[in-house]
Amino acid sequence: MGPADLPRRGRSALARPGHGGHTEGVFTHLLVGYDGSAGSQAALTAALTLARESGARVTVATVQHHLPRYGATVGEVDEERQVEAADARRLANEIQAHADEESLTVATRVAIGHPAQELVKTAKDVGADLIVLGHSGHSAIWDTFLGSVAEKVSRHAPCSVLIVR
């Protein structure tokens, strides 16, 4: 289904008639996994478009990596925390800029851990009924050995998952 196949007259492909003749969205709370990659930017754009059309709430989650697993010094751990804090601020600014372009308000969450596990947990915590993720663009060999975050989320998610290319 391409853009030419979408309904006209201002209705979303994911909307249904509600009470009083207005359009009520099928999905009411969207969770977007965002890491700043091109795929996650496309996912955020798609989620904001869906939210604007359907009136859904949007929560955007970023997941930071664990601290180093090797015998790091206190200084190295502090430096890593500062780098991750700066990265989280950068991502939050990007998210806000995208939301401002669409004149929408989004909630943001930052988790620490494995991205797939944290996204599934966050979806449960916020009551999301759709998780929107970007396609990673990794090679088939990469995904064969490590698996993609999108694949793992789709396998364990408590709700529907939309993967945006």
CATH code of the domain containing 83: 3.40.50.620
d(CA 147, CA 108): 26
Q: Is residue 1 part of a domain?
A: no
Residue 8 pLDDT:
42
Is 18's pLDDT higher than 60?
no
Residue 15 inside a domain? The answer is no
- C-alpha to C-alpha distance for 122 and 142, rounded to whole angstroms: 26
Q: Which H/E stretch holds residue 59?
A: strand 57-64
pLDDT in the model for residue 66: 61
User: What is the reported pTM?
Assistant: 0.76
> Rounded to an integer, what distance in angstroms lies between the CA atom of residue 154 and that of residue 71?
34
82 falls within a domain? yes
- Does 155 fall in a domain? yes
| Alpha-carbon distance values, 142 to 4, 38, 148, 149 (Å) | 34, 18, 8, 12
For residues 146-150, give the mean pLDDT: 75
Structure confidence at residue 13 (pLDDT): 46
pLDDT one-digit tens code per residue, 48-87: 999 999 999 999 999 987 655 555 666 676 777 788 888 8
Domain extent for 95: 23-164
Any domain includes 36: yes
What integer pLDDT is reported at residue 72 of this predicted model? 61
Residue 12 has pLDDT above 60, yes or no: no
Task: Report yes or no on 10 lying in a domain.
Answer: no
Q: How many domains does the chain have?
A: 1
Helical spans, DSSP H, in 9-73: 38-54
Question: Quick check: is 4 in a domain?
Answer: no
| pLDDT, position 99 | 95
Burial, 17: exposed, middle or buried (Cβ in 10 Å; 0-12, 13-18, 19+)?
exposed
